[in-house]
Amino acid sequence: PGGKGSNALPFTAIAPVDALVDDMTVPQGYGWKPVIRWGDPIFRTSPAFDANKQTAAAQALQFGYNCDYTDVLEIEGSKGRRAVLFANHEYTNENIMVPPTTPAAEVRGIGKAAHGLSVVELERKNRNKPWSYVQGAPLNRRYLTTTAYEVTGPAAGSDLLRTKDDPAGRSILGTLGNCAGGTTPWGTILSGEENFNGYFVAAGTSDGDRRYGITSKPTARGWEIDEPRFDTRNAGYENEKHRFGYIVEVDPFDPASTPRKHSALGRFKHEGANVTVAADGRVVAYMGDDERFDYLYKFVSTKKVQPGSSPAARRANMTLLSEGSLYVARFQGNSVAEIDGTGTLPTDGAFDGVGEWLPLLVDNKSVVAGMTAAEVCVFTRIAADRMGATKMDRCEDVEPNPRTGKVYVACTNNTNRGVGSSAVADEANPRTQNRDGHVVELTEAGGNATGTRFTWNLLLVCGDPARNPSTYFAGYPTDKVSPISCPDNVAFDSAGNLWISTDGQPGTVGFADGLFKVGLEGAERGRVQQFLAVPRDAETCGPIIHDQDGTVFVAVQHPGEDGDWAEQASLFPDYVPLGGAPRRGEAALPRPSVVQVYRASEGRR
| Distance, CA of 431 to CA of 445 (rounded, Å) | 26
Question: Which of 85, 179, 329, 569 touches Ca ion by CB under 5 A?
Answer: 179
The reply on whether position 289 binds ligand FEO by CB under 6 A is no
DSSP code, position 602: G
Is the Cβ of residue 121 or residue 271 nearer to ligand FEO in the bound state? 271
* 247 DSSP β-pair partners: 192, 262
Is the Cβ of residue 356 or residue 539 nearer to ligand FEO in the bound state? 539
Is the Cβ of residue 194 or residue 209 nearer to ligand FEO in the bound state? 194
The reply on whether position 111 binds Ca ion by CB under 5 A is no
The reply on whether position 393 binds ligand FEO by CB under 6 A is no
The reply on whether position 179 binds ligand FEO by CB under 6 A is yes
Question: Which of 290, 393, 427, 436 touches ligand FEO by CB under 6 A?
Answer: 290
CA dihedral 157, 162, 164, 168 (to 10 degrees): 10
* Residues in 259-278 at the binding interface with ligand FEO, rule: CB under 6 A: 271
For 59-76, give the DSSP string: HTTB--SSEEEEEEEEPT
The minimum distance between CB 353 and Ca ion, in angstroms, equals 6
| Distance, CA of 534 to CA of 569 (rounded, Å) | 13
The minimum distance between CB 411 and Ca ion, in angstroms, equals 12
For 334-397, give the DSSP string: ---S--SSSSPPPTTSSSEEEEEEEEEEETTEE-STT--HHHHHHSHHHHHHHHTPPPEE-EEE
Is the Cβ of residue 156 or residue 500 nearer to Ca ion in the bound state? 500
Q: x/- string (CB under 5 A) for Ca ion, residues 473-502? A: ---------------x--------------
Which partner, Ca ion, ligand FEO, none, binds residue 334 by CB below 5 to 8 Å per kind? Ca ion
Number of alpha carbons in the 13 Å side-chain half-sphere of residue 543: 29
The reply on whether position 251 binds ligand FEO by CB under 6 A is no
| Distance, CA of 595 to CA of 585 (rounded, Å) | 17
| Distance, CA of 458 to CA of 428 (rounded, Å) | 7
Which partner, Ca ion, ligand FEO, none, binds residue 346 by CB below 5 to 8 Å per kind? Ca ion
Number of alpha carbons in the 13 Å side-chain half-sphere of residue 71: 21
The minimum distance between CB 501 and ligand FEO, in angstroms, equals 11
Question: Which of 375, 396, 436, 444 touches ligand FEO by CB under 6 A?
Answer: 396
317: left (phi over 0), alpha (psi -120 to 50) or beta: alpha
Which partner, ligand FEO, Ca ion, none, binds residue 352 by CB below 5 to 8 Å per kind? Ca ion
The residue count of the chain comes to 605
Is the Cβ of residue 289 or residue 549 nearer to ligand FEO in the bound state? 289
The minimum distance between CB 292 and Ca ion, in angstroms, equals 14
Alpha-helical regions (H) of 190-298: 207-212
Question: Which of 71, 94, 193, 194 touches ligand FEO by CB under 6 A?
Answer: 194
DSSP code, position 519: B
Which partner, ligand FEO, Ca ion, none, binds residue 194 by CB below 5 to 8 Å per kind? ligand FEO
Closest CA to 229 of 237, 218, 241: 237
The minimum distance between CB 187 and Ca ion, in angstroms, equals 23
**SS3 category, 307:** coil
Using CB under 6 A as the binding criterion, the count of chain residues that bind ligand FEO stands at 7
Rg (the chain; Cα; Å): 23
Cβ contacts of residue 101 below 8 Å, gap of 6+? Answer: none
Cβ contacts of residue 178 below 8 Å, gap of 6+? Answer: 68, 69, 88, 89, 90, 116, 117, 191, 192, 193, 194, 248
Query: Is the peptide bond prior to 573 cis by the omega test (within 30 degrees of 0)?
Result: yes
Q: x/- string (CB under 6 A) for ligand FEO, residues 481-510? A: ------------------------------
Cβ contacts of residue 329 below 8 Å, gap of 6+? Answer: 295, 296, 297, 298, 355, 356, 357, 358, 389, 390, 454
Is the Cβ of residue 291 or residue 586 nearer to ligand FEO in the bound state? 291
* Residues in 430-489 at the binding interface with ligand FEO, rule: CB under 6 A: none
Q: x/- string (CB under 5 A) for Ca ion, residues 379-408? A: -----------------x------------
Which partner, Ca ion, ligand FEO, none, binds residue 335 by CB below 5 to 8 Å per kind? Ca ion
| Distance, CA of 146 to CA of 475 (rounded, Å) | 51
| Distance, CA of 296 to CA of 389 (rounded, Å) | 8
| Distance, CA of 604 to CA of 531 (rounded, Å) | 19
The reply on whether position 360 binds Ca ion by CB under 5 A is no
Question: Which of 348, 385, 524, 602 touches Ca ion by CB under 5 A?
Answer: 348
Q: Count H helices and E strands in the chain, helices first.
A: 9, 31
Question: Which of 334, 372, 422, 494 touches Ca ion by CB under 5 A?
Answer: 334
| Distance, CA of 192 to CA of 181 (rounded, Å) | 6
Is the Cβ of residue 60 or residue 490 nearer to ligand FEO in the bound state? 490
The minimum distance between CB 90 and ligand FEO, in angstroms, equals 6
The minimum distance between CB 200 and ligand FEO, in angstroms, equals 17
Is the Cβ of residue 220 or residue 336 nearer to ligand FEO in the bound state? 220
The reply on whether position 193 binds ligand FEO by CB under 6 A is no
Question: Which of 193, 251, 503, 586 touches Ca ion by CB under 5 A?
Answer: 503
**Which part of the chain contacts Ca ion (CB under 5 A), choosing from 58-66, 75-83, 129-137, 352-360?**
352-360
Is the Cβ of residue 30 or residue 86 nearer to Ca ion in the bound state? 86
**SS3 category, 221:** coil
The minimum distance between CB 194 and Ca ion, in angstroms, equals 7
In the complex, the residues that contact ligand FEO under the rule CB under 6 A are 68, 90, 179, 194, 271, 290, 396
In the complex, the residues that contact Ca ion under the rule CB under 5 A are 179, 334-335, 346, 348, 350, 352, 396, 488, 503
